[in-house]
Amino acid sequence: MTAGLPVPLQRDGQPVERLYPGWQCNGRHPAPAGMEVLSLQHRHTGQEACWWLTPEGDILACHALALDKHWSQKIREAVAPALQQLSTTLLGRVTPLPAEACFPHEAMAPLTNLPHTARLQLLGLWFRSVSRSLLVLSPATLLDGEETSLELEAADATGQPFAPRFIRAMLETRPAGPHTLACSPFSGRIIRAELTMPTDRGVACRFSDERNGETFYLFWPGPAGQIDPQTAQQPLFYHPQGELLLGDGPLTPLVPIFLLSWFISNPNCIEELKHAHPFRLEDYGVGKASALWKDIALAPSSSQTDTQATTQEETGQNRTSFPFSSRHWGQSFFFEAGRTAGLPDRDRLTPQDHEKTTGAGHENHDEP
């Protein structure tokens, strides 16, 4: 058993003097609604937990979701104004964005000062009470079958926001730091991430489709602190305005909670959102058509890679942003843009095809 607790605690009128083996107390913190939180950690596994207490030291529950009806209601009422404002201001889409001075810093202080585990529990308690109509679906639900032209016309007429082909393209997106690109599930346009949000359970990117006025998030589970984890895993999709979560796995229902916690810890993101700009070709070095295919086809040496990475970082580019992070880009948007500009299509860019074409009666410009 561990040593005695540093604070007097009672449960059901009986004193609690020891913890289970391996567990230690990290501190006692004030919480909303006059409650307190005792944070705990396992010495060997690093696992974290917390107990919810009264100011007198009575243990109410070992998880916020286990609080009784009285205390659950009190704590939800205490945090509701600040969280509702935060959710409306940042989680969904509000135009124009508010000034950073309008962020409810003072109201958020009780949440900001909580241990991370306790904050996530409290956010989960509040979010569950306000999102009873939230729909959690597996991607397969929206991707069964191929849509026909008649079905697409019917979907447009009925106001259905998603076409399966757009969902498929979006789910091919992989994180590429601040320059992550995705196919919009609403319009099929290539759009750029407005925010890259590393959390302790993965990385999220926020996107807005200006054409439709819709905001959505993609979340890739992974190690803490990484903004471009090397993963082939499909992202989880969250659309706040449509109250829709799309994904498989136990973390899917928790994505809004991770996002809210990140916003609480990063109030300066409002200014970052205001300076975010939509996708532009020049941000990705497109414009030197003569060198474009050479850059893609030839793998640079390690020294060249380091030099190019330094140059890219100086210009605001991420080394993983080109070729682009969605295969849909390479298959459709890029080649369509090339055809529109009068460039040769993909099949005519190889020497073998050029020689075959020459033999068919065309002049060979490659030989003197």
Please tell me the pTM assigned to this model: 0.71
Do residues 249 and 97 make contact, with C-beta atoms less than 8 angstroms apart? no
Nearest Cα residue to 192 out of 301, 277, 287, 268:
277
| The predicted structure's pLDDT at residue 320 | 36
**What is the tens place of the pLDDT at every residue in 302-312?**
455 454 444 44
Q: pLDDT tens-digit profile of 146-183?
A: 554 444 443 443 345 678 889 999 999 998 877 789 99
Lowest mean pLDDT among 230-239, 295-304, 329-338: 329-338
d(CA 75, CA 81): 11
pLDDT of residue 231: 60
d(CA 298, CA 295): 6
Whether the pLDDT of residue 96 is over 70: the answer is no
For the residues 73-77, what does the mean pLDDT come to? 95
Q: Give the separation between CA 162 and CA 239, rounded to whole angstroms.
A: 11
Higher pLDDT, residue 25 or 278: 25
pLDDT surpassing 90 at residue 313: no
Strands 214-221, 135-137: pairing kind: unpaired
